[in-house]
Structure 1
Amino acid sequence: MKRENRPLQPPILEKGLSQPHYLYREYEPGKSLEPYVACYWTSEFLPGEQTQLHRIVPDGCIDIIVDLRAANVAKGAFISELMTSFEVIHLTEPQSLFGIRFFSSTVRKFLRYPASAFHGSHPLLEDLWGSEAGLLVEEMQEVQDIKGRIAIVERKLYNCLEQQISLSENLLQTSMAYLYDAHGSLSVKELAEKICYSERHLRRMFHYELGVSPKELAQIIRFQSMLQALFRTPKDQLTQLAHRYGYFDQPHLIKEFKRYYGIPPSRVFMAGEPKKVRS
């Protein structure tokens, strides 16, 4: 997957969120893992006088999340689902997390199940990898530096690359490549024509592999593409962005932004720069 398709999350957009007691960082994967892994990330939180809000927005990805403070290593890692709406978490307890953010179309190669299997749930990694999950968590807890932890993770992921992909997975990856290249601005009909399959087959494949419709995934990709444009050039006019990314008009763009982010773009991008948002 191209690096420009790497999704954004609020802690990266809202620079004011970074505090001594709350730190979120992202790290690039090794070159051979770039088609599959959007990034690795860490989130550290120590409780203070104020409640810390942690906002998560849809990004078309599935994450393995490792709790580096877990007392029970067998239950120290779990899978996130492919989100279709935002979530705001009130952090109150200390946390130290390490995440592996996969592009949803490639996650089966590493987790042995399609993304649709995790829809509406957060299964333990142990349920998919058996005892290997606990060993991974234990190894990561024993290493204190980020380079060492990434090296442990990548050794495991490289082993998974040897697995063969199915025809359905290959078709899904081709479909997703078209959607990313078009910044999500493709109709189901246009996408079906590009992959030379019927709209019905396309919808069935997306629901089987991802648990969402191709239209929903396209809208999420378009939202993320627009986020990236605002992040790169915060002074861009919303009317221009609406036209560039296939929204009907500026009100349509704002409506979609609020749907996936929870607040209007004016509360994230003020005076040409991302700002800190409290709620």
Structure 2
Amino acid sequence: MTHSFHPVHSPKLQPELHQPWYKCREYPPSPRLESHVASFWTMDFRPVPDQIGHRVIPDGCVDIVVNLLSPASRKAAYVVGLTTQSEVLQFSEARSLFGIRLYSESARSILKTPLSALKGERIYLEDVLSLKGMYCVEEILAAQTIPDILAVAEQHLDRILADSDIAISPLVYQSMQIIYDRKGNLSVTNLANQVHCSERHLRRVFDQEFGLSPKEMLGIVRFQSTLQEFHQGRYSSLADLALKYGYYDESHFTNTFTQYYGMSLKGLIRKR
């Protein structure tokens, strides 16, 4: 099933990042994994003087990251939990990374643990998936090409999902589908009414599953939906874009953008 939510990341928005020493690419999953995997990605980084760091922004997803330069599978892969603010990573050594970006509502069926246990943390994959995680990482490190890595990752994900006995919470799944369909542009009260539960219960369920409140998840999806439209240039003015996504005014929009992106919208437009 094709997913309606497709988060955008800084390399697509900042042309100055397209340098020989910094390469990022995204790869779509096969149709059978589209409801679980937002994308596969690679990042190759070589330190140079006065370089720009790698900017990570909130996207409502969880990432499994594999260090392709690791000499051994142990400690070579880790899981990055949900984030609510941007971070700029500075590397002093060369990096070659492969990532699997998982949708939050279905990540538990792969990771076997609620995302609340991973919020803002980086946890070694072997501590989450034990031997299954180790086998996957060993094969990824042994792969010779990106297509080979993608094939290994998809094969292991298929196996994990086939063996999974963890059902996605109907309330969580339904809530996230509404959030995606509305592009985050609705209130917590409206969301609770649509899934036929109290706001208090909805907040409790989101906290237990994601470690985020419904309001925080709505804000991230709305930001990412706005970012997608900004990236594609489908707007007549910033004021119209802000109004379309329910921001009170352009000032509210720009302040929220800076909060999540870590850079002002005007600064990003200048770079573009």
The letter of the residue matching 1:166 is A
Structure 2: distance between partners of 1:244 and 1:204: 29
Structure 1: distance between partners of 2:254 and 2:247: 10
Q: Does 1:23 align with 2:20?
A: no
Contact kept, 8 Å, 2:73 with 2:141, in 1: the verdict is no
SS state at 1:35 partner: coil
SS state at 2:236 partner: coil
The aligned counterpart of 1:173 is 173
SS state at 2:41 partner: strand
The aligned counterpart of 2:107 is 107
Contact kept, 8 Å, 2:65 with 2:99, in 1: the verdict is yes
Q: Name the % identity.
A: 39
Any unmatched runs of 5+ in structure 2? none
TM-score (norm 2): 0.95
The aligned counterpart of 1:213 is 213
1:242 is displaced (CA, Å) by 1.0
1:6 is displaced (CA, Å) by 0.9
Structure 2: distance between partners of 1:190 and 1:161: 33
The aligned counterpart of 1:117 is 117
Contact kept, 8 Å, 2:112 with 2:166, in 1: the verdict is no
Contact kept, 8 Å, 1:52 with 1:92, in 2: the verdict is no
Contact kept, 8 Å, 1:52 with 1:91, in 2: the verdict is no
1:182 is displaced (CA, Å) by 0.7
The aligned counterpart of 2:132 is 132
The aligned counterpart of 1:142 is 142
The letter of the residue matching 1:240 is D
1:33 is displaced (CA, Å) by 0.6
Deviation per CA, 1:77-130: give whole Å up to 9, x if none. Answer: 000010100001112210110000001111100000011110232110000111
Contact kept, 8 Å, 1:230 with 1:236, in 2: the verdict is no
1:16 is displaced (CA, Å) by 2.5
Q: Does 1:56 align with 2:56?
A: yes
The aligned counterpart of 1:233 is 233
Structure 1: distance between partners of 2:123 and 2:58: 19
Contact kept, 8 Å, 1:67 with 1:77, in 2: the verdict is yes
SS state at 1:91 partner: coil
The letter of the residue matching 1:23 is K
Contact kept, 8 Å, 2:4 with 2:181, in 1: the verdict is no
Deviation per CA, 1:34-65: give whole Å up to 9, x if none. Answer: 11110000000122233331111100000000
TM-score (norm 1): 0.93
SS state at 1:242 partner: helix
SS state at 1:105 partner: helix
CA spacing shift, 1:197–1:165, aligned 2, 3 Å: farther
The letter of the residue matching 1:188 is V
Contact kept, 8 Å, 2:116 with 2:210, in 1: the verdict is yes
Structure 2: distance between partners of 1:160 and 1:136: 10
1:217 is displaced (CA, Å) by 0.4
Aligned-residue RMSD, C-alpha: 1.5
The aligned counterpart of 1:159 is 159
1:70 is displaced (CA, Å) by 1.0
The aligned counterpart of 2:245 is 245
How many pairs are equivalent? Answer: 271
Structure 2: distance between partners of 1:4 and 1:91: 33
Structure 1: distance between partners of 2:155 and 2:208: 29
SS state at 2:140 partner: helix
1:132 is displaced (CA, Å) by 2.6
1:17 is displaced (CA, Å) by 0.5
